[in-house]
Protein backbone atom coordinates (compact mmCIF):
# COMPACT_ATOMS: atom_id res chain seq x y z
CA UNK A 1 0.00 0.00 0.00
CA UNK A 2 1.26 3.47 -0.87
CA UNK A 3 2.16 5.77 1.98
CA UNK A 4 0.53 8.64 0.08
CA UNK A 5 -3.10 9.75 -0.09
CA UNK A 6 -4.77 12.62 -1.93
CA UNK A 7 -5.95 15.37 0.39
CA UNK A 8 -9.18 17.35 -0.01
CA UNK A 9 -7.28 19.81 -2.24
CA UNK A 10 -6.09 16.95 -4.46
CA UNK A 11 -2.46 17.23 -3.33
CA UNK A 12 -0.48 14.30 -1.98
CA UNK A 13 -0.09 13.80 1.75
CA UNK A 14 1.12 11.15 4.17
CA UNK A 15 -1.52 8.41 4.30
CA UNK A 16 -1.77 8.43 8.09
CA UNK A 17 -3.46 11.85 8.05
CA UNK A 18 -6.50 10.38 6.29
CA UNK A 19 -8.15 9.49 9.59
CA UNK A 20 -10.37 12.49 10.12
CA UNK A 21 -10.28 16.29 9.84
CA UNK A 22 -8.38 16.66 13.11
CA UNK A 23 -5.64 14.37 11.81
CA UNK A 24 -5.40 16.30 8.55
CA UNK A 25 -5.10 19.61 10.39
CA UNK A 26 -2.49 18.18 12.76
CA UNK A 27 -0.51 16.81 9.80
CA UNK A 28 -0.64 20.05 7.84
CA UNK A 29 0.00 22.54 10.64
CA UNK A 30 1.98 20.79 13.38
CA UNK A 31 3.61 17.44 12.61
CA UNK A 32 7.27 17.86 11.75
CA UNK A 33 7.49 21.62 12.19
CA UNK A 34 10.36 22.45 14.57
CA UNK A 35 9.46 23.44 18.13
CA UNK A 36 11.60 25.08 20.78
CA UNK A 37 8.94 26.12 23.28
CA UNK A 38 9.56 24.20 26.50
CA UNK A 39 5.88 23.82 27.40
CA UNK A 40 4.97 22.46 23.98
CA UNK A 41 7.88 20.04 24.11
CA UNK A 42 6.89 18.85 27.56
CA UNK A 43 3.25 18.50 26.51
CA UNK A 44 4.24 16.30 23.58
CA UNK A 45 6.51 14.16 25.73
CA UNK A 46 3.55 13.59 28.06
CA UNK A 47 1.03 12.93 25.30
CA UNK A 48 3.35 10.51 23.55
CA UNK A 49 3.55 8.63 26.84
CA UNK A 50 -0.24 8.54 27.12
CA UNK A 51 -0.45 7.29 23.55
CA UNK A 52 1.49 4.14 24.39
CA UNK A 53 -0.80 1.26 23.39
CA UNK A 54 -3.35 3.62 21.82
CA UNK A 55 -3.79 5.56 18.58
CA UNK A 56 -2.63 9.15 18.19
CA UNK A 57 -6.15 10.10 17.04
CA UNK A 58 -7.48 8.99 20.43
CA UNK A 59 -5.03 11.33 22.17
CA UNK A 60 -5.55 14.18 19.73
CA UNK A 61 -9.31 14.14 20.29
CA UNK A 62 -8.68 14.40 24.03
CA UNK A 63 -5.85 16.93 23.83
CA UNK A 64 -7.87 19.93 25.01
CA UNK A 65 -9.13 17.90 27.97
CA UNK A 66 -5.54 16.96 28.78
CA UNK A 67 -4.47 20.60 28.60
CA UNK A 68 -7.25 21.70 30.92
CA UNK A 69 -6.57 18.89 33.38
CA UNK A 70 -2.80 19.46 33.48
CA UNK A 71 -2.69 23.28 33.66
CA UNK A 72 -1.77 23.58 29.96
CA UNK A 73 1.23 21.33 30.69
CA UNK A 74 3.06 24.03 32.63
CA UNK A 75 5.60 21.72 34.22
CA UNK A 76 6.44 24.21 36.95
CA UNK A 77 2.85 23.99 38.18
CA UNK A 78 2.61 20.23 37.65
CA UNK A 79 5.80 19.74 39.67
CA UNK A 80 3.85 20.93 42.72
CA UNK A 81 1.00 18.43 42.25
CA UNK A 82 0.20 16.11 45.14
CA UNK A 83 -1.53 12.77 45.60
CA UNK A 84 -4.79 14.72 45.69
CA UNK A 85 -4.14 15.83 42.12
CA UNK A 86 -3.48 12.25 41.05
CA UNK A 87 -6.88 11.24 42.40
CA UNK A 88 -8.47 14.26 40.71
CA UNK A 89 -6.96 13.27 37.40
CA UNK A 90 -7.98 9.62 37.80
CA UNK A 91 -11.59 10.84 38.12
CA UNK A 92 -11.40 12.95 34.95
CA UNK A 93 -13.29 11.15 32.18
CA UNK A 94 -11.89 13.50 29.55
CA UNK A 95 -8.37 12.06 29.72
CA UNK A 96 -6.73 8.62 29.76
CA UNK A 97 -7.16 7.51 33.36
CA UNK A 98 -4.04 5.41 33.73
CA UNK A 99 -2.40 5.86 37.13
CA UNK A 100 1.09 4.98 35.95
CA UNK A 101 0.98 7.46 33.07
CA UNK A 102 -0.51 10.21 35.24
CA UNK A 103 2.13 9.70 37.92
CA UNK A 104 4.78 9.73 35.20
CA UNK A 105 3.67 13.23 34.15
CA UNK A 106 4.18 14.49 37.72
CA UNK A 107 7.53 12.76 37.98
CA UNK A 108 8.69 14.05 34.61
CA UNK A 109 7.54 17.60 35.37
CA UNK A 110 9.88 17.75 38.35
CA UNK A 111 12.72 16.39 36.24
CA UNK A 112 11.96 18.83 33.41
CA UNK A 113 12.30 21.66 35.92
CA UNK A 114 15.70 20.24 36.91
CA UNK A 115 16.81 20.21 33.27
CA UNK A 116 15.81 23.85 32.86
CA UNK A 117 17.77 24.81 35.97
CA UNK A 118 20.79 22.88 34.72
CA UNK A 119 20.69 23.47 30.96
CA UNK A 120 18.82 26.75 30.60
CA UNK A 121 15.85 25.19 28.82
CA UNK A 122 14.30 21.84 28.04
CA UNK A 123 14.65 22.67 24.35
CA UNK A 124 18.41 23.14 24.59
CA UNK A 125 18.72 19.65 26.04
CA UNK A 126 16.39 17.93 23.57
CA UNK A 127 17.74 19.54 20.41
CA UNK A 128 21.19 18.15 21.14
CA UNK A 129 19.75 14.86 19.89
CA UNK A 130 18.81 16.17 16.46
CA UNK A 131 20.27 13.65 14.00
CA UNK A 132 22.63 14.47 11.17
CA UNK A 133 20.30 14.63 8.19
CA UNK A 134 22.84 12.81 6.01
CA UNK A 135 22.50 9.74 8.24
CA UNK A 136 18.71 9.59 8.34
CA UNK A 137 16.72 6.63 7.08
CA UNK A 138 14.17 7.30 4.33
CA UNK A 139 10.97 8.96 5.61
CA UNK A 140 8.72 6.66 7.63
CA UNK A 141 11.17 3.76 7.25
CA UNK A 142 12.02 3.47 10.93
CA UNK A 143 10.42 3.37 14.36
CA UNK A 144 13.61 4.11 16.29
CA UNK A 145 16.97 5.64 15.54
CA UNK A 146 20.34 5.92 17.22
CA UNK A 147 19.31 9.38 18.36
CA UNK A 148 15.92 8.34 19.76
CA UNK A 149 17.66 5.53 21.65
CA UNK A 150 20.22 8.01 22.99
CA UNK A 151 17.53 10.49 24.04
CA UNK A 152 15.56 7.73 25.72
CA UNK A 153 18.64 6.56 27.64
CA UNK A 154 19.55 10.09 28.68
CA UNK A 155 16.07 10.79 30.04
CA UNK A 156 15.73 7.41 31.74
CA UNK A 157 19.11 7.92 33.42
CA UNK A 158 17.65 11.06 35.00
CA UNK A 159 14.56 9.16 36.12
CA UNK A 160 12.03 9.99 33.39
CA UNK A 161 9.25 7.47 32.72
CA UNK A 162 7.37 6.43 29.57
CA UNK A 163 10.18 7.67 27.34
CA UNK A 164 11.17 4.53 25.44
CA UNK A 165 13.08 4.70 22.13
CA UNK A 166 9.97 4.24 19.95
CA UNK A 167 8.09 6.89 21.92
CA UNK A 168 11.05 9.24 21.58
CA UNK A 169 11.25 8.62 17.84
CA UNK A 170 7.58 9.59 17.47
CA UNK A 171 8.30 12.66 19.59
CA UNK A 172 11.24 13.63 17.37
CA UNK A 173 9.10 13.19 14.25
CA UNK A 174 6.35 15.40 15.59
CA UNK A 175 8.53 18.15 17.07
CA UNK A 176 10.62 18.63 13.95
CA UNK A 177 13.93 17.10 14.97
CA UNK A 178 13.50 15.05 11.81
CA UNK A 179 11.33 15.51 8.73
CA UNK A 180 9.54 12.22 8.20
CA UNK A 181 6.86 13.45 5.82
CA UNK A 182 6.82 11.23 2.74
CA UNK A 183 8.92 12.47 -0.16
CA UNK A 184 5.78 13.17 -2.23
CA UNK A 185 3.88 14.87 0.61
CA UNK A 186 2.99 18.50 -0.10
CA UNK A 187 3.86 19.44 3.50
CA UNK A 188 7.38 18.00 3.39
CA UNK A 189 8.79 21.05 1.60
CA UNK A 190 7.11 23.41 4.06
CA UNK A 191 8.69 21.54 6.94
CA UNK A 192 12.08 21.63 5.23
CA UNK A 193 11.78 25.38 4.83
CA UNK A 194 10.80 25.78 8.49
CA UNK A 195 13.74 23.64 9.60
CA UNK A 196 16.12 25.62 7.39
CA UNK A 197 15.23 28.89 9.13
CA UNK A 198 14.82 27.42 12.60
CA UNK A 199 17.33 28.66 15.17
CA UNK A 200 18.42 25.68 17.24
CA UNK A 201 18.25 26.47 20.96
CA UNK A 202 21.51 26.49 22.81
CA UNK A 203 23.60 27.06 19.70
Catalytic residue positions? 26, 48, 56
Contacts for 15 with CB less than 8 Å, ≥ 6 apart: 1, 2, 3, 4, 5, 182
Q: Which residues are registered as beta bridge partners of 4? A: 14
Torsion of CA 60, 161, 143, 189, to 10 degrees: 50
For the purposes of burial, counting CB atoms within 10 Å of the CB of 199, is it exposed (0-12), middle (13-18) or buried (19 or more)? exposed
Contacts for 60 with CB less than 8 Å, ≥ 6 apart: 22, 23, 26
CA distance 189 to 145: 22
CB 13 within 8 A of CB 23: no
Amino acid sequence: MSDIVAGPDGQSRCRWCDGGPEMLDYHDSEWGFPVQDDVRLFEKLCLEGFQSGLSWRTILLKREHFREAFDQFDFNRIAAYTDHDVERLLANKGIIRHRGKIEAVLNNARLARDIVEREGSLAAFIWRFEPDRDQLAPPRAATTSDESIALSKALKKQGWKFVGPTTMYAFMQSMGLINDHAEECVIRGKVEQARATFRRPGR
